[in-house]
Amino acid sequence: MAERTLFARKSTGLVREIGLTVAIIVPLANAIGVGWQVRVFQGMGYYPVARTNWFLGIAPVTMAFLITGIGCLLSVYAFAILTAAMPRSGGGYVAISRVLSPLWGVVATLFQWMGVSTAYGQITFYCILPFMLYGGFMGLVLPAFLTSPIGVFVLGLVVIAIFSGIAALGARQTGRLLQVIFWIPVAILILVLFLFLVASPSRMAAGTQELFGASPTAYIQQALDTGLAEGAGGYWAAVVGCIIVTYWAFIGYATTNFIAGEMKEAARNLPKAMLIATGAITVLYFIQSTLLVRAGGIAGVVQGFDLVGSTAWMVFGGGSFGDLASIGPWMPIFAHIQGVGMGIGTLTGWATLVFAILWAANDIPPFILATSRMLFAMAFDRVLPEWLADVDERWHSPINAIIATSVVAVLGAAAEGGLFSEAGIYLGDTFKVFIEGFGFRGTNLWDAIFYFSFAIACIVFPLRRPDIFERAPFRHSKTVVMVIGVLASLAQLFFIYSFVFTPRGGYYLPGLLREFTFAGFSPWLATIVIAGVGIGFYYYYRSQAAVTGVDYTTIFAEIPPE
């Protein structure tokens, strides 16, 4: 009979070299990237509401940011309790697999891994998009090929290769890169917020006229002429609907949990990092969206609608710009409009272009850190191929897990950049929708399923693993921990409800049941396939236990070694 063994190695090979500062920056950079720059416009375009109907003068999308932030804060508190008790690489995977079940941990983590890995590829497109939207203001006109779906995809591959190569040098080097591309846009953020604070009707009007050749009022009237008022709805329905865009902007708020195994003094620093970062993200999103909408309102209001809402409607709603020049739905563009109106357009043009690119780019290092550690943790437990847990001896990085993540990121780059659209390599609508289903349509749902599982684990943690709970350095009484877990679970269920039962939710189940379309089914198909793959991997490797001597029961009764 084969000798029964526990873990294949006595240590992971990873090194605790991430300090508190980087641990805070990781979720800040991961969340505050593209979402806050464009999602305000998406929310207002999907669900327009006249300003006269706003509750306490707060735009629906701003209220959705606030509600999403509160839900994420409740959730991250629960996650901090669990991860601080088991501060290992893989974070939530380790907690779910040790508290709920190994199979649950594998399936939920594969959802998260797929969503975040493809998001890594998606972000490469948004690193390039600012040039396409308003690089022309500074005379930066890209060659036609580079703005085509094929060209954008090629540039995306270059970005993936560069960032994955740096990530292979280890967490320390990745953290150094992250600090560089984080603090530069933070400094520019001060200028952007200042521009919104000092925005005035005359300057916004002058900037719009100079950049786009028409007044704010002309744009608002065009939106009204193309159905804006008729498309407007109720306030609270819009708030719930906007959760789909605000939640996307928060994805990454708990990323620190995945790198817990490489944090210095993780049991003490991890809760601080997660709570500080999530609180800062919530406050910043509320302030930024409030100031952006204020600047749009200052530019002029016609029949209760403003420039921001009109731009949103003509891009994401049912309207069109007609003969007017298109205004990109990008927050820095509105800061630049004010800068042009103030006569400092050269400064604000370059500053906001760098701002837009780097806030997108600094999403990428946290994506790689998180996804590679998910794969590493599962492979270390031997529920995925063991070679995914290989660690480079010099750089202490899970090199094979990074490569695997980068390969899947290519799918996200292809889907977001429209590689298989009619302007690219067109293989038919079915293939295009299939790629989108796996490439980006399922991201929000998969993220929420993972964190719902994490929250459920918090509820039962004191009951199912009292041995770990009693030794946890960051905890409360059993009752308090379970209540926190319940609140976090309800928050995640609310997010899932908004995705599934609102028309723009991306997974609109009532509409799919009424009128089946492959486009509507594609994210559900991807979800089913990923779950099936996870179940298949788990039972395959479990079946090998009798041959290899791996005792799964014992493995998942223990926390992995450091």
pLDDT computed for residue 2 by the predictor? 42
Give 192-246 pLDDT, tens digit per residue.
Answer: 999 999 999 999 999 999 999 999 999 999 999 999 999 999 999 999 999 999 9
CB 390: neighbour CB atoms within 10 A?
Answer: 16
Contact 346, 264 (CB under 8 A): no
Question: Which top CATH class is 20-555?
Answer: mainly alpha
> How far apart are the C-alpha atoms of 177 and 166, rounded to whole Å?
8
What residue spans of 465-508 are helical by DSSP H?
A: 466-469, 478-501
Per-residue pLDDT, 1? 36
| Contact indicator for 250, 289 with CB cutoff of 8 Å | no
Return d(Cα 133, Cα 137) in angstroms, integer. 9
551, pLDDT greater than 90: no
Classify residue 258 by its DSSP letter.
Answer: G
What pLDDT, in 10s, does the model give residues 517-539? 999 999 999 999 999 999 999 99
pLDDT at 472 over 70: yes
In whole angstroms, give the CA distance from residue 45 to residue 34: 17
Residue % of the chain over a pLDDT of 90? 75
> How much is the pLDDT for 530?
96
548: phi then psi, degrees, rounded to nearest 5: -85, -15
Question: Phi-psi bin for 391: left (phi > 0), alpha (psi -120 to 50), beta?
Answer: beta
Any idea which of 177-181, 387-391, 474-478 has the lowest mean pLDDT?
474-478
Position 546 scores a pLDDT of 64
What is the token pair recorded at 147? 């703005």
The whole-angstrom separation of Cα 544 and Cα 414 is 36
| CB-based contact 290:193 (threshold 8 Å) | no
Q: Does the reported pTM lie above 0.75?
A: yes
The DSSP code sequence of 368-379 is: HHHHHHHHHHHH
Query: Residue 4: pLDDT band by 50, 70, 90 thresholds?
Result: very low
Residue 319's closest CA among 214, 219, 223?
Answer: 223
pLDDT in tens, 121-166: 999 888 888 888 877 788 888 888 888 999 999 999 999 999 999 9
Contact between 440 and 431 under an 8 Å Cβ cutoff? The reply is no
Q: Which residues contact 165 (CB under 8 A, 6 or more apart)?
A: none
**Is the pLDDT reported for residue 5 higher than 80?**
no
Our CA angle for 61, 251, 132, nearest 5°, is 75
pLDDT at 556: 86
CA–centroid distance for 480 within its chain: 29
pLDDT tens sequence across 277-322:
999 999 999 999 999 999 988 988 999 999 999 999 999 998 999 9
* Residue 555 pLDDT: 80
Q: What is the mean pLDDT of residues 385-411?
A: 93
Average pLDDT of the residues of the chain: 91
Where does 60-170 have alpha helices with state H?
60-85, 92-99, 102-134, 144-147, 149-167
For the chain, first and last CA: distance in Å?
29
